């Protein structure tokens, strides 16, 4: 048993306090107090300070001549300082990382498109002309900047796999989707303005051709 273990036991008894009563004051278990008093382990620095307050003893009185405990306290203080520096360094690194990530996300359109993918389609034609028109795909929110692709691919797991009639006109439009490689029609249906349709039957990583037909001079859909 070290010196501090004996002093804890003596101070508790001198205060007419049971192990359970001391444990309640420190918010620890009775077995913790017992382990301290028989020398199985030591209280940490915070507990030593609380013990000194409870027993109205100075830290010097509790630790005097207890070389082993003084070394433990010194070691804990050094480790505490190291932990503080480590936490401060980690916090700074996280803040810098979030700032850099925010800048990257702000500038990286491709990154945003991957997690919130939208394929926009606009077909210009003669009004009331009812031929099928192959859709050309555009970058999100940049109508007029064509990707040059006449097919679409669900190449991100974040697609909802839906098509939406984004036209403000009153007339519905017809949609035809076919396999880009084989030409086989896999879906054909009509869409009312603002109506959506699930495309869950389409496979991921497969190229599909989209054709639109309608009476209006401008046909617009979004694939999300």
189 contacts: CB under 8 Å, gap ≥ 6 = 174, 175, 197
**Is residue 180 in a domain?**
yes
Pair 60, 130 in one domain: no
**Is residue 79 in a domain?**
no
- Which is nearest to 84 in space by CA: 72, 95, 74, 92? 92
Number of domains forming the structure of the chain: 2
Any idea what the CATH number is for the domain that residue 61 is in?
Answer: 1.10.260.40
Asked if residue 48 lies in contact with residue 41, where contact means CB atoms within 8 angstroms, the answer is no
pLDDT score, position 120: 79
- Range(s) of the domain holding residue 21: 3-65
**Is residue 198 in a domain?**
yes
Pair 59, 121 in one domain: no
Pair 210, 123 in one domain: yes
Pair 61, 157 in one domain: no
* Residue bearing the bigger pLDDT, 193 or 144: 193
Pair 130, 54 in one domain: no
Whole-model pTM?
Answer: 0.48
Q: For residues 49-70, b (16+ Cβ closer than 10 Å) or e, as one string?
A: ebbbeebebeeeebbeebeebe
Pair 214, 132 in one domain: yes
Pair 124, 211 in one domain: yes
Pair 146, 217 in one domain: yes
Decide if pLDDT at 186 tops 90.
Answer: yes
Q: What is the 8-class DSSP label of residue 203?
A: P
**Is residue 131 in a domain?**
yes
Predicted confidence band of residue 201 (pLDDT cuts 50, 70, 90): very high
């Amino acid at each position: 048993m070290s010196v501090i273990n004996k002093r804890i036991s003596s101070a508790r008894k001198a205060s007419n306090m049971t192990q359970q009563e001391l444990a309640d004051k420190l918010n620890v278990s009775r077995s913790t107090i017992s382990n301290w008093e028989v020398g199985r382990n030591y209280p940490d620095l915070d507990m030593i300070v609380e013990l000194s307050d409870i027993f109205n003893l100075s830290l010097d009185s509790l630790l005097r001549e207890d070389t082993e405990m003084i070394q433990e306290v010194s070691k804990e203080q050094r480790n505490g300082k190291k932990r503080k520096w480590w936490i401060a360094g980690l916090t700074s690194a996280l803040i810098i990382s979030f700032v850099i990530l925010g800048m990257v996300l702000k500038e990286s359109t491709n990154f945003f498109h991957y997690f919130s993918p939208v394929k926009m389609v606009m077909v210009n034609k003669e009004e009331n002309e009812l031929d099928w028109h192959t859709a050309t795909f555009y970058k999100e929110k940049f109508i007029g900047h064509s990707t040059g692709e006449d097919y679409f691919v669900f190449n991100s797991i974040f697609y909802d796999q839906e098509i939406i009639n984004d036209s403000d006109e009153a007339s519905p439009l017809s949609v035809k989707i076919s396999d880009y490689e084989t030409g086989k029609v896999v879906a054909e249906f009509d869409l009312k303005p603002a109506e959506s349709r699930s495309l869950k039957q389409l496979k991921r990583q497969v190229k599909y051709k989209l054709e639109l037909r309608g009476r209006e001079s401008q046909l617009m859909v979004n694939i999300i």
